[in-house]
Structure 1
Amino acid sequence: MTTTKPLAVCVFCSSSGTIDRLYVDLAAQAGAELARRGHSLVSGGAQVSCMGAVARAARAGGARTVGVIPEGLVSVEISDEDNDELVVTPDMRARKGEMDRRSDAFLILPGGIGTLEELLEVWTARTLAMHEKPIVILDPTGVYEPLRELMVGLTEQGFTRAKIWDAVGWATSVPEAFDLLERAQPRIESSPDDYAEAEL
């Protein structure tokens, strides 16, 4: 059990039913480790795929779970009524805002365009010093390697600044991911130029 302050960890992950089982198992491992370390979970509020797996494993380990789901997806994604708290929002933007507000840290698992959108939003905000919450990408199979290569290229071409790398951690195992989340990451200082840029 960790001696660090308990965190409300927001896990961004897939709700797709067509992915390889290993990613669902990875989500379950993340939920179990979260509970073992005494943290609580904030997730997308669905009981399917990785979203359901992380929440079920967290609850099985004794962790408090909060699900946040937009009204339009309650029936589509099948909302997880077993959450300690299920928050239904009017739309996706409100969902992300509520998840952000309730969280102390962000863990990103392999996922699709929704997960990418969530990652890029919190990554951008941390780069601009709009929050100081740690962000860790858990990628044991290299799903996000093309994204990393893209970001390296954007940095080399001047579209974004090198300090974006200070805003996010990368991990290949569940324990490593939580070690990074629990470690205080360096404060990222912003400048007026950051806000003047159309892109990071």
Structure 2
Amino acid sequence: MDFATSIPLPTVDARIYPRNGLDILSRAEVARLRDASTGGMHELLRRCALAVLTSGSTSDDPRAARDLYPTFDIQVQQQDRGVRIDLLNAPAMAFVDGELIHGVAELLAAVVRDLAYTAIELGENCGRDLESSEGITDAVFSLLRNARVLQPGDPNLVVCWGGHSINRDEYLYTKQVGYELGLRGIDICTGCGPGAMKGPMKGATIAHAKQRRRRMRYIGITEPGIIAAESPNPIVNHLVIMPDIEKRLEAFVRMGHGIIVFPGGVGTAEEILYLLGILLREENRDLPFPLILTGPTASAPYFEQIDRFLRLTLGEAATSRYEIVVGEPREVAARMSKGLKRVREQRIGHRDSFFFNWSIDIPLPFQRPFVPTHEAMAALDLHHGRKPHELAADLRRAFSGIVAGNVKEDGIRRVEEFGPFEIHGDEDIMQALDALLRGFVQQHRMKIAGDYRPCYRVVT
């Protein structure tokens, strides 16, 4: 038995009376919320709540917290026009002098809010057309509006992508970029986990304090399969749990006014391919969307390899949609600030909202949830001769499957049962893909700790 897991950890029982939209409900809404929490989604609710209560964890094993707190449970109880959340054997690390930390309580309420809303509003009898592109975008909008993260105001939200497993120099660099962004009044949105998802927020907090900003947004967007492996970092003050990875990615693109990409692993590569696949469509050719890839000087080889892979697979046209800036945090923030001004002008000219990008065209293949079974991974069409955005869609799915095999419980279980996923395609694409993935492994970008056992096999 692992010694670390054999020692009982301190726990606390507590009752929480959440606000943020959960304190003003009709009796019918409360009844539906209660039904949802005790039905088929209870285990999902328990896993997501435990991730929030262990916020700041340095593990990326989705089963670690469950094994450390096997008796933890959460129950949603009906009150008069509201709810009460009962926590049983909750991690003591989430409490101070017997009181739940305020930020953790807010994130916990967000978990209940988003999972319940998804179960009720996007369930089988919801009446939404989730098989059409317009219906899916409408669902994404509704989820974000329900989470109260869509706010009018000048475009100032920058999405920061990057790995949860980065080295110290890369982490400090993400803080420096976040600081420069914060000095320019820019808010931060990330995937809400550690590493490159935490650093920009941490840097921005200091800059926002210097500028005496009082309404800062540090938005974390996740999904149920990811949150258990990447607990929200403590700086996140707006947590949103989307139903699946595709709606999570669309939320980033619809909400964000620009995107900065730091060094990362397969999840970061998936995000880059998703965005470029969309921006390379003819419908989005003239749409301003600043995209900067950046890291410390020592990370230059990482971006050179990413750049080579993108040129080989998506063509030279892809390079016109991003720029690489290495070792210059201030320059990154200055260029992004200029890019946001162009976004503002375009939105005004097309009478598009500042808080939700309706103009960008996201086709259905980028919106449909991809379930990474062994059969689905082997069937991906990774060959030349396809339109760049079509190849980008399947490459994105390949990386999504590897993410699942690395950190998602369902994906880990499939790999343990049936062996590594097999990925097929043209020889030069497969060689470049294999080299990229091997680089991620050698640079320890796949896992935070421990030896990495590949969940994939590239077949040429």
TM-score, normalised with respect to structure 1 = 0.79
1: CA distance, partners of 2:222 / 2:242: 6
Letter aligned with residue 189 of structure 2:
V
Deviation for aligned residue 1:45: 1.2
Alignment of 1:1-200 (within 5 A): 6-16=155-165, 19-46=166-193, 48-62=194-208, 63-128=216-281, 129-130=283-284, 131-139=287-295, 140=297, 141-142=299-300, 143-152=302-311, 154=312, 160-172=314-326, 173-184=328-339, 198-200=386-388
Deviation digits for residues 47-90 of structure 1 (CA, Å, limit 9, x no counterpart):
x2221222222233224211111123323211135423111112
Q: Deviations over 1:120-150 (max 9, x none)?
A: 2112212224353111111432111112223
Flag the 1:151–1:68 CA change in 2: closer, same or farther, 3 A: closer
Contact kept, 8 Å, 1:69 with 1:89, in 2: the verdict is: yes
Q: Say if 1:32 and 1:6 are closer, same or farther in 2 by CA, change over 3 A.
A: farther
1:199 alignment partner AA: K
Residue 9 of structure 1 contacts residue 39 of structure 1 at CA under 8 Å; is this kept in 2? yes
Name the SS for the 2:278 alignment partner: helix
The runs of at least 4 consecutive aligned structure 1 residues that moved more than 3 Å come to: 159-162
Aligned alpha-carbon RMSD (Å): 2.4
1: distance between equivalents of 2:172 and 2:387?
36
Amino acid at match of 1:14: G
Deviation string for 1:152-189 (max 9, x for gaps)?
4x2xxxx644332221111012122223223347x9xx
Q: List gaps (5 residues or longer) in structure 2.
A: 1-153, 209-215, 347-384, 389-460
Structure 2 residue matching 1:138: 3-state secondary structure: strand
Local SS of the residue matching 1:137:
strand
Q: TM-score w.r.t. structure 2 length?
A: 0.36
- Secondary structure at the residue paired with 2:198? helix
User: 5+ unaligned residues in a row in structure 1: which ranges?
Assistant: 188-196
Letter in 2 for 1:149: R
Local SS of the residue matching 1:171: strand
Q: Which amino acid aligns with 2:307?
A: R
| SS, match of residue 50 in structure 1 | helix
Q: Distance in 2 between matches of 1:111 and 1:178?
A: 20
Q: Aligned to 1:67, what secondary structure does the other structure show?
A: strand
Q: Letter of the aligned partner of 1:92 in structure 2?
A: I
Structure ranking higher on relative contact order (CA contacts 8 Å, 6+ apart): 1
SS at 1:76's partner residue?
A: coil
Displacement of 1:39 in angstroms is 0.7
2:289 partner letter: K
**Kept in 2: contact 1:58–1:64 (CA 8 A):** no
Tell me if the contact between 2:161 and 2:268 (Cα under 8 Å) persists in the aligned partners: yes
- Distance verdict in 2 for CA 1:28–1:163, change over 3 Å: same
Deviation of 1:198 (Å): 2.4
Q: Distance in 1 between the 2:270 and 2:195 partners?
A: 18
Q: CA deviation at 1:95?
A: 1.4
For residues 51 and 107 of structure 1, the distance between their equivalents in structure 2, rounded to whole angstroms, comes to: 11
Which amino acid in 2 is paired with 1:148? Answer: D
SS in 1 for 2:273: helix
8 A contact 1:27–1:50 mirrored in 2:
yes
Residue identity opposite 2:251 in structure 1: E
Matches of 2:195 and 2:289, distance apart in 1 = 26
Percent of counterpart pairs with the same letter?
Answer: 20
Q: 1:151 to 1:51 in 2, by over 3 A?
A: closer
Q: Distance in 1 between matches of 2:307 and 2:252?
A: 25
Corresponding residue pairs, total: 179
Please say if residues 6 and 40 of structure 1, whose CA atoms lie closer than 8 Å, have aligned partners that are also in contact.
no
What residue number does 1:191 align with?
Answer: none
